[in-house]
Chain A
Amino acid sequence: MTEHDPIYDADRLAEIVELDLLDAEVDPILQDVASRAAAGLGLPVSLVSVVLDEALHVAASHGIDGLWLGETGGHPVEWSFCATSVRTRDAFVVENAETHPYHKTNPLVVQDGVRCYAGVPMISSRGFVLGNLCVVGLEQRTFAEDDMVFLRSMAAEAVARIEERRES
């Protein structure tokens, strides 16, 4: 990571705060987006994630109640699959985490059983990657182009909802 790493961009972090993405109160519409994303792809977990400088913050979710992630509301950024999209500004897919060069030693994989992941960046109207809409599974699987089109449409819904906060 360098000083130009967008993860640490103060303007991006200011945008996240301005859009009230760190509020403890969960937006029911974002929650609904997460639930529909999980159901649409037949996976147990979906997150509306906000990637901060040192941690991933869960803004809305489906399927993490009762898990430690549900209690902490996030996890260290070095364990985050979603952080990749902040750097690439593109979707990130891991079909088998056990063989992924970086994530095969990720505690979320080794200890908590994550096996597959697909995330699409949520990019604000000012051009900042806020985080991802992502789905997570406990078994390896492939993601077809139709799956990613669906996930992108869900991410667009999430961004539209988030942008409403700027106008209100």
Chain B
Amino acid sequence: MLSPPSAPGIPGYNDYRAPTEADARAALNRVFGLERGAEHWSLACREAGLSAGGVNGPEPLARVIHALAAQGGPSKAVARSIEIRMRTYTRLAAKSLALSDGGQG
């Protein structure tokens, strides 16, 4: 999955990176195909008050993913996938930081 250079990878977890808008769109494309995937993403962005291509950072992405889940059907499964990937990044980044600071992970 693609990520912007600003998203640091998690050491020891195969350089695992936070999901981005590009990742979410690619996931939808794999399930629905390019045209329908783009339609589902654009609709979710509109529902979240954002524009496709302008979803930058974890908080806006989380809003769009929430809207994507509300579409139901396979979109809900894709949304849950991205949500899990976001939560995994957040949790493992915190664990990594705690270990680098000498604390408990």
Known A8-B30, A13-B77, A76-B16; contact A54-B82, beta-carbon cutoff 8 A: yes
CB distance from B14 to the nearest CB of A (A): 6
A54–B92 CA distance with the chains assembled, in angstroms: 17
- Closest B residue to A11 by beta carbon equals B74
- B31 on the A face (CB < 8 A): yes
Query: Does more than half of chain B's interface fall in helix, strand or loop, or is it mixed?
Result: helix
Interchain residue pairs with CB less than 8 A apart (14): A10-B73, A10-B74, A14-B77, A54-B81, A54-B84, A55-B81, A55-B84, A56-B84, A57-B84, A71-B87, A71-B91, A72-B87, A74-B80, A75-B88
Pairwise interchain contact B13-A107, C-beta atoms closer than 8 A = yes
B49: shortest Cβ distance to chain A, in Å? 24
What is the size, in residues, of chain B's interface with A at 8 Å between Cβ atoms?
A: 25
A143 within 8 A of B: no
A72-B83 Cα distance, complex, nearest whole Å:
9
List 13 extra interface pairs beyond A55-B80, A71-B91, CB under 8 A: A8-B30, A17-B72, A17-B76, A53-B27, A54-B78, A55-B82, A57-B80, A57-B81, A71-B87, A74-B84, A107-B12, A107-B13, A111-B13
Please, which residues of chain A bring their CB within 8 A of the CB of B73? 10, 13-14, 17
Contacting pair A111 B76 (CB below 8 A) = no
Interface residues of A in 69-105 (CB under 8 A from B): 71-77, 105
A16-B77 CB under 8 A given contacts A72-B91, A75-B88, A76-B85: yes
Given known A-B contacts A14-B73, A22-B77, A54-B27, A110 and B12 have beta carbons under 8 A apart: yes
The winner among A13, A17, A55, A107 for most chain B CB atoms within 10 A is A55
Q: In the bound complex, how far is the Cα of B12 from the Cα of A68, in angstroms?
A: 15
A52 interface residue per 8 A CB criterion: yes
Tell me the residues in window 63-83 of chain B with beta carbons closer than 8 Å to chain A beta carbons. Answer: 72-74, 76-78, 80-82
Q: Is the CB of B30 within 8 A of A68?
A: no
> From A21, which residue of chain B is reached at the shortest CB distance?
B77
Chain B residues near A8 (CB-CB < 8 A) = 30-31
Contact A107 B16 (CB under 8 A): yes
The interface residues of chain A lying within 8 Å CB-to-CB of B76 are 17, 22
- Structural contact, B87 and A73, CB atoms closer than 8 A: yes
